Every structure is written in C-alpha cells, then in structure tokens.
Amino acid sequence: MSLAQPRSAKGAVVALLTLMLVRLWLASSLPLAPDESYYYLWAQHLQAGYFDHPPMVALWIKAGTMLCGNTPLGIRLLGPVFAAAGSVLLWDAAEQLAPGRGIIAVLVLNATLMVGAGALIMTPDTPLLFFWTAGLAALARLITSGNPRWWLAVGLAAGGMLLSKYTAGLFVIAVFLWLLCTVSGRRVLCTPWPWLAMALAFAIFAPNIAWNAAHGWASYMKQGGREAAFAPARAAAFFAELVAGQLALATPGIAALAVFGVWQLRLQASPGTRLLLWLTLVPGVVMLEHILSDRVQENWVAIIYPSACLAAAMLPAALLARWLKPALALGFGITALAYVQAADALLPLPANLDTAGEQLSGWQNLAQDAMASHPAFITTDDYATMATLAVQGPKDVKVAGFTADWDRRWRYFGYPPAVAPGSVGVMLTKRRDTPCKDVLGTLTRHRGTEVFATYKLCRFVAPNAGVLLPRP
C-alpha cells in the first residue's frame, strides 16, 4: 500500500486497542500529578461548576472511580478509553471528508506526544478533546449526508465541550464563521437546524451558567481575567516558547506535515476543507493574540490537533508516501520514550529537563515528610500541592484549605469547616513571597538525587475556619 497504511481496518482496530491497553496499564502504574489530585477532590463534591473549570472532568473521574475504586486507574480510566473512541470518530470524519485517509489521520493523531500524554493524565482537556473530535465527526457526516438532523449531534457534542472547558466556545465561533462565509452556509443559517444545535448545546451548559450566577460569576471572571495584562514586549519570547513546545508535543515530523496540510487547505474550496481551516485557524488566532498578554499553556493547543492531523492525512499521496513513515516513526518513538521515562526514569535527566519527573515524582514522599511531625493540621499556598497532601499524604493529619488572599477557590466547595480560627498548624510553601516568620525546616521533592523543588515548612495560624479536604 503506497501510504504505508495497515493492511486492513481490522489491523488498525487491533493496533488501537493495543495502544489503549498500554495506556491503561501506564495509567494504573504512574503516580498522580498534582492537578489530578485536585480534580479528584472535585469528584468528591460534584457540582455544576468550580472556580477553575466546568464539571466534566469531575464527572469522568467519578465514573472511573465508581468502576475501579479510588486508585490512579480509577481516576484516569476514561482517558485512554475515550482517546480510543475519539480516534475512531476522527477515522470516521476523515473517511467522510477524504475517503481512504481515515487510518492515516488516526495514526498521525496518536503519534503526537500531546495525545499520548493527554490520554494518561486526567485533566479538563481530556474530555474536551473527545467532544471536540465528536463535533468534527458529526459535521463531517452532515456535510456528506446532507441530513440536517446531524446538527443535533453537533449540539450534543458542543454541550459536552462547554461542560469540559470554556475554550469550547471557539468551536462554536469557528462553525458559525464557516457557515457565514459561504452562500450555501448562509442559507443553512436561515434554517432552524444550527440554531436548534446551539440551543441544545446551551441547554446542556445551562447548569454551569446557573452555578456561576449563584457564585458571583467566579469561574468566568477567573478565566476571563487571563487577558487583563498586556505585555507586547514579551510577545516574541512567548511565541518562541509556543513554537518550541508544539514542536515537542506534536513531534517534529507530525508538526511539519500538519502545518503543511493546513496550509494546503487554502487551495481547496470544499465545505469539508473550509471547516477544517476554520477549526484550526480560530483557536490558532486566539492563541496568537494571547501571547500579547501572557504565555500560551502548551495543553491549550490540543483542540487544534484533530483538524490539523486530518489536514495532514489529506496531503497528496506522493508526499505522504515519502514522509509519513519517518514522521510516524519519530512520533511514536518519542512518545514511547516518554512513557518509559515516566514509568522507569530510564534516562538520567537533570531535574530541569525531566518533564515527567517534575509532574509525577516525589509527591508522596513530600507529603509524608511534611506530615511526619503530626501537626494539628497542614495547609499550603498552592492548590495543587494542597490536593496532593490530601490525596497522597498520611490520613491521620488534617489538610485544611483557607480562603486567604492567595487562594479563593476553597470557598466554593461544600466541605465541612476545618479548624477553628487561631488554631496553630503548619504551612508548606515553595514561594519566596509567602510570609513565614517561623521556619520549622526545609523539605525537597526529588527523584533519586535530582531535586525538583525545595519547600519551607512554617508555623501557621489559621486566619479563618477554612474547609477540611476529604481524604480517600
């Protein structure tokens, strides 16, 4: 086969299921990242919104832990499963828009480190990427079938996206612009179907709107505040970080194919290629605008990957026959190396280069060391470290969250009061600007001899009742 596809769809399915099983094994083996511990705490108090994001990640964690218990596998269970399901949806979308290219699109997407790592770590981007791909697949079916009822599937997918992460709004904007910019699309806007889809999406999203309305629009203000700063002098540095980060996460060969594939879309005028172009450019332009204010977090770009990888799969056959194999080999090789490094620290990397270690290693020992003196309670000035203490630390020490100036998020949970105001405990902090008049000692988070961070352990007087974080 000229494009180096698996010999049959059956072989591709077997490969995808094998990859899912490998990811499930790794998900059960790797320690939790701090943010995963934080989202696990969300799942202990389900509600329609949280200070940071909508509730979908908490719902996925709750479902996983109901099936597999309060374990890393339970917390991450739906990540590998829905990464495989999303791959099938992308396969279908590619077959609708470019028959014969579905397997290539799936291979290209799964060869990226972004998807390889994102399938293991449970964050709001995990359900967002699935629902985004589902929306793309529904639109592809709409284009090829002409059946307007597919708009209802688009609405369901958009609702799932909006309950996953607020950047899902970019999908809605991209689809609207896609329709608005062609005569046939404007005719569709004169029918009730896209508006029914939007109504369905916002009906699904309505509980989060209601939660925010009842809590001073906390989540919207928090995310909207990201654009408050303006730092154009640093834009070049932020842009360089963005490009370097995406070269690593897409892997160089896949990144080159994806960029060239998106560039080639401009030469085609079919509804499918125009849709892919809008779904890529709208988030891309917003992220480029964001670098005028601050750096773009690497995971934000994940929503571009489905359309960009599909565009790569639509490149001319002669080009793919030459470059697809080496790009896939490099991508899967880098991802496999990252998996081995996360699981076994195969390479003796220094701490500043060991991304997997920085995210996953040393948290349980840090929690145990911080609680070794069995204080009345322990707290921190960092929400993720706080969640890690609660989930991974010894269970005989209270972990208390206080709504002081450094962090307001704990006030939005319905957890019981922690300790009386004025009670004395300890605070763990690595921030230099945190007041700490009485330092009780220093601790490190490390793997072997490599130190990822150094913390102070300080005497702390409770400023208010705060909340008592649940312990699994």
Residues 218 and 298 in one domain: yes
Same domain, 374 and 460: yes
Residue 2 lies in a domain: no
If asked whether residues 369 and 320 sit together in one domain, one would say no
**Do 123 and 158 fall into the same domain?**
yes
* The residue to which tokens 């009906």 are assigned: 203
Instruction: Please indicate, yes or no, whether residues 59 and 149 belong to a single structural domain of this protein.
Output: yes
Mean of pLDDT values over 330-353: 86
282 contacts: CB under 8 Å, gap ≥ 6: 170, 173, 174, 177
Residues 6+ apart with CB under 8 A from 457: 370, 426, 427, 428, 439, 440, 441, 442, 443
User: Which of 285-294, 330-339, 395-404 is the most confident on average?
Assistant: 330-339
Q: Provide the CA 385 distance to its chain's centre, in angstroms.
A: 19
What pTM value is reported for the model? 0.93
Asked if residue 1 is part of any domain, the answer here is no
Euclidean distance between the first and final Cα of the chain, in Å?
52
User: Number of folded domains in the chain?
Assistant: 2
* Digit-coded pLDDT (tens) for 204-235: 999 999 999 999 898 998 887 655 567 778 88
The mean pLDDT value for 354-379 works out to 87
Tell me if 212 sits within 8 A of 220, measured CB to CB. yes
Angle, CA 126 vertex, CA 120 and CA 128 arms, to 5°: 170
Q: Per mean pLDDT, which of 249-258, 292-301, 339-348 is the most reliable?
A: 249-258
Give domain status of residue 384, yes or no: yes
Of 16-25, 65-74, 174-183, 380-389, the range with the lowest mean pLDDT is 380-389
Does residue 431 sit in the same domain as residue 390?
yes
Final residue before a domain boundary, out of 291, 310, 344: 344
Asked whether residue 273 falls in the same domain as residue 315, the answer is yes
As to burial, measured by CB atoms within 10 angstroms (0-12 exposed, 13-18 middle, 19+ buried), residue 244 is: exposed
Residue 355 placed within a domain: no
pLDDT digits (tens, 9 = 90+) for 63-78: 999 999 999 999 999 9
In this structure, the answer to whether residues 333 and 439 fall within a common structural domain is no
Q: How confident is the model at residue 13 (pLDDT cuts 50, 70, 90)?
A: confident
Rounded to 5°, angle at Cα 229 from 223 and 232: 125
Residue 267 and residue 376 in one domain: no
Residue that terminates a domain, selected from 314, 344, 374: 344
The residue segments making up the domain with residue 442 are 362-468
Rounded CA-CA distance 265/352 in Å is: 39
Query: What average pLDDT score do residues 136-157 get?
Result: 97
Q: Are residue 326 and residue 371 in the same domain, yes or no? A: no
Specify the pLDDT at position 422. 84
Nearest to 245 by CA among 184, 176, 297: 297
**From 82-96, 317-331, 375-389, the region with the lowest mean pLDDT:** 375-389
Q: What pLDDT, on a 0 to 100 scale, did the predictor assign at position 154?
A: 98
Domain membership of residue 53 (yes or no) is yes
pLDDT for res 85: 97
Residues 458 and 315 in one domain: no
Last residue of a domain, one of 344, 378, 405: 344
| 350: in domain | no
| Same-domain check for residues 199 and 226 | yes
Residue 336's alpha-carbon distances to 12, 87, 113, 242, 361, in angstroms, are: 18, 18, 9, 23, 19
Instruction: Report pLDDT for 4.
Output: 44
Q: Please give the C-alpha separations between residue 204 and each of 156, 189, 354, in angstroms, as whole numbers.
A: 8, 21, 40
